[in-house]
A and B are shown apart, each in its own frame.
Chain A
Amino acid sequence: MDRHTTGFRIGWYTVNVLIGATMIGPFLWMLLTAVKDAGSVFVFPPELLPRRWEWSNFASVWEAVPFGLFYLNSLFVGIAVTCGQVTTSALAAYAFARLEFPGRDKLFFGYLATMMIPQAVIMIPVFIVLRSLGWIDTYKALILPSIFTAYGTFMLRQFFMSIPRDLEDAARVDGCGPVRILRNVVLPVSKPAIVTLAILTFMATWRSFMWPRIVIHTIEKSTLPIGLQAFQTLHETEYTLLMAGSVMAVIPVIVVFVLGQRAFVKGILLGAVKG
Chain B
Amino acid sequence: MGRYILSRLIQAIPLLFLISIAMFALIHALPGGPEAVLFNPRLSAAGRAALRARFGLDDPVPVQYFKWIGNAFVGNFGYSFATNEAVSSILARRFPATLELFSIALVEALIIAIAVGMISALRQYTLTDYVLTTLAYFGIAMPIFIFGLFAQDIFGIWAHWLPTSGTTTFGVTFDAFNAAWDHINHLILPTSVLAITFIATWSRYMRASMIEVKRQDYMRTARAKGASTSALIFRHALRNAVTPFITVVAIDFGTVAGGAAITESVFAWPGMGQLFIQSLDSRDYPVLLAMLLLSAVFVVAFNLIADILYGVMDPRIRYS
A pairs with B: no
Residues of B in contact with A (beta carbons under 8 Å apart): none
